């Protein structure tokens, strides 16, 4: 018979530090699933198109860095063991997106954003505070965040060159996964945030997208 391992606060802090390093250091997050781009041909993009697509993928990569930090912060302060486990599982699923985006960025001859550590720290803090308030607020924040991510992905899918099948396959699978995360968070009891809160989150997301597109 197996039982859930009990971790001390110090153990959890060490685990969070390990998760942060695996998120921020290049090629340290190993995906659980193969990239949706696997086996698809590379498109014949000119330099400007490749630079634009790399910028879009850099935004999405930073978004996944933020998602990792958000889930890890929430897991650290979640009050119920099942909510903590759900947050940790969601973070594992986001590792796939993180690795896929990074691989695509490298294929396009570019690099992840140098601002990732800043956004990781901010997102971790937000997640931890949400978890301290209540698990319902924490789950609601997940749902609202994933809704924002889906909107960004829809915009990016429209901006991709028509023949860029590799980037398109990655973003389409990411959107499917993110939509499921949002639905699961609400079904688990997440609070539906009012419009003013969502508007504030939209403004913050615009800061992230504008700054990471180029750097």
- Cβ proximity of 75 and 84 under 8 Å: yes
What integer pLDDT is reported at residue 42 of this predicted model?
Answer: 94
Annotated binding site: 64, 94, 97, 146, 178, 181
Q: Which CATH superfamily is domain 44-212 in?
A: Ferritin, core subunit, four-helix bundle (1.20.1260.10)
Which residues carry a binding-site annotation for Fe cation? 64, 94, 97, 146, 178, 181
Instruction: Quote the Cα angle for 156-64-191, to 5°.
Output: 95
pLDDT in the model for residue 142: 86
The pLDDT value given to residue 2: 41
pLDDT on residue 28: 65
pLDDT (tens digit, 0 to 9) for every residue of the chain, 215 residues total? 344 456 666 666 666 666 666 677 766 667 888 999 999 999 999 999 999 999 999 999 999 898 888 888 887 787 777 777 777 677 777 789 999 999 999 999 999 999 999 999 998 998 888 888 888 888 888 888 889 899 999 999 999 999 999 999 999 999 999 998 888 888 888 888 888 878 888 888 889 999 999 89
- The pTM of the full predicted model, rounded to 2 decimals, is 0.86
DSSP 70-134: HHHHHHHH-SSHHHHHHHHHHHHHHHHHHHHHHHHHHHTT----TTHHHHHHHHHHHHHHHHHH-
Residue 66 tokens, joined: 């933020």
């Amino acid at each position: 018979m197996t039982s859930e391992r009990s971790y001390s606060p110090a153990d959890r802090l060490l685990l969070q530090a390990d998760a942060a390093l695996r998120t921020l250091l290049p090629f340290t997050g190993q995906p659980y699933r193969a990239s949706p781009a696997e086996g698809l041909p590379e498109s014949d993009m000119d330099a400007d198109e490749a630079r634009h697509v790399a910028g879009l993928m850099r935004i999405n990569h930073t978004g996944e860095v933020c998602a990792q930090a958000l889930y890890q912060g929430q897991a650290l302060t979640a009050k119920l063991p099942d909510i903590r486990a759900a947050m940790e599982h969601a973070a594992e699923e986001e590792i796939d997106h993180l690795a896929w985006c990074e691989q695509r960025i490298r294929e396009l001859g570019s690099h992840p954003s140098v601002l990732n550590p800043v956004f990781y720290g901010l997102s971790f803090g937000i997640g931890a505070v949400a978890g301290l308030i209540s698990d319902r607020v924490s789950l609601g924040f997940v749902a609202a965040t994933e809704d924002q991510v889906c909107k960004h992905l829809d915009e990016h899918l429209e901006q991709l060159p028509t023949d860029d099948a590799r980037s398109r396959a990655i973003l389409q699978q990411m959107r499917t996964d993110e939509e499921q995360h949002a639905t699961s968070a609400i079904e688990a009891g997440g609070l539906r945030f009012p419009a003013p809160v969502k508007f504030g989150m939209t403004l913050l997301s615009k800061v992230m997208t504008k700054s990471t597109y180029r750097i």
